[in-house]
Amino acid sequence: MQSENKLCVVLLFGGMSSEHEVSRVSVGNFVNNIDRTKYEVLAVGITKEGRWLYTEATAAQMADGSWEELAGNMPCILSPDRADHGMVLFTPEGHVEKIHVDVVIPVLHGLWGEDGTVQGLLELAGIPYVGCGVLASAACMDKGVANALFEANDIPHTKWLAANRWQIESDLEGVCAGVEAKLGWPVFVKPANAGSSVGISKVSNREELKKAIALALENDRKVVFEAFVDGQEVECAVIGSDPAVATRPGEILAGAEFYTYDDKYKNGVSQTVIPAHLPEEKLDEVKTYAAMAYTALGCEGLARCDFFVEKGTGKVMINEINTFPGFTSISMYPKLMEHEGLPVPALIDRLIELALERYGKTAWITAPSAYLTAALAA
């Protein structure tokens, strides 16, 4: 199963979040574009119920969900034991097989994948991985926490409020009154920890607000309220960390009233324009804020930073940061990178390089004497 001359790369996909189906499509872009002359590629799917299965499924089988029924699938775990440094497979014959893993690419979107949980497991295991670390993943996942950090770092953002389930259930009318008084109408209502526009509503009165809160609470126990911004929706891809490098922004031309889940992944009516229809100085301003936000929240590896550019005023306001953005063939992140001259195969190489570089920089935490000796010798 393993080659001594190649790095062993594990692709994690699926997951238990509401974005499970998006992950299954995103991983196909890695399966189809990773350089197999350099890497031994293994795939591990996580079902909606949370089962981890080693699979040899094709990208098409991953995308349509039929991968779960393949006869060759084997239960597996990612071992937190650093002596294993990899996976443990449970074979049909009842044997246990350990597989050394060099790098993990967690192609997971949303809760239990993009929120610091899987990243924490990989940190315990001592396995390099692509993308942001535990703290940045958790902070960016929670829109309330991210908004507070944007404010603390003087990164412009629309007016907002947040409320926990217990606050809403104990005083729904008070929460609604506060939203109306501070934010006005219309308002966006969002689950704090969901992505791909899942559970998001745009409302224009108190009754709609209550229904939107109920919908948001189906996806999370905290709800974020944000004032409507009449503006262009633009997105920057950011890569690296020392320093962070942002692309010129692309623009979303949504097919609905706002950029919905169906727009992003199903009906194909939204359009992307690269670069965005903005003056050069405004494109540069968005790029600058993207790198600032990415750095302020401690992001590493990759992320997509989403902004509004308000009509009339031209004010740039950050919306959110996605620490493992959609990676499908129509997703903005790989499109932006390709526009900058980094096609998907080369992008995958660079992301793996960044994961290995970060692991080298943090190795002193667990082996300071060995790390310092090597550094001094160099």
Give the lowest-confidence range in 178-182, 217-221, 256-260: 256-260
- Who's near 223: CB < 8 A, 6+ residues apart? 162, 163, 164, 165, 168, 189, 190, 191, 192, 213, 216, 217
CB-CB contact of 43 with 62 (8 Å) = yes
pTM: 0.90
- For domain 7-129, give the fold: Rossmann fold (3.40.50)
Residue 94, Ramachandran bin (φ over 0: left; ψ between -120 and 50: alpha; else beta):
left
Peptide bond into 275 cis (omega under 30): yes
Q: Find out if CATH 3.40.50.1100 is the number for domain 159-227.
A: no
CB atoms within 10 A of CB 134: 17
The two beta strands, 187-191 and 222-227, are antiparallel
Mean pLDDT of the chain: 91
Using one digit for the tens of pLDDT, what is the confidence trace for 56-83? 999 999 999 999 999 999 999 999 999 9
**What percent of the chain has a predicted confidence (pLDDT) above 70?**
89
What confidence tier does 251 reach under pLDDT thresholds 50, 70, 90?
very high
Confidence of residue 360 (pLDDT cuts 50, 70, 90): confident
DSSP 342: -
The more confident residue out of 63 and 1 is 63
Buried residues in 54-65 as b, exposed as e (16+ CB within 10 A): bbebbbebbbeb
- The domain 231-360 having CATH identifier 3.30.1360.180: the answer here is no
pLDDT (tens digit per residue) in 105-152: 999 999 999 999 999 999 999 999 999 999 999 999 999 999 999 999
**% of the chain surpassing 90 pLDDT:** 83
Contact predicate 96/106, CB 8 Å: no
What per-residue confidence (pLDDT) applies to 373? 45
Alpha helices in the chain (DSSP H): 20-33, 59-64, 117-125, 134-141, 143-152, 165-170, 172-183, 206-217, 261-265, 280-296, 332-339, 344-362, 368-377
Domain edges within the chain: 7-129, 159-227, 231-360
SS (H, E, C) 285-336: HHHHHHHHHHHHCCCCCEEEEEEEEECCCCCEEEEEEECCCCCCCCCHHHHH
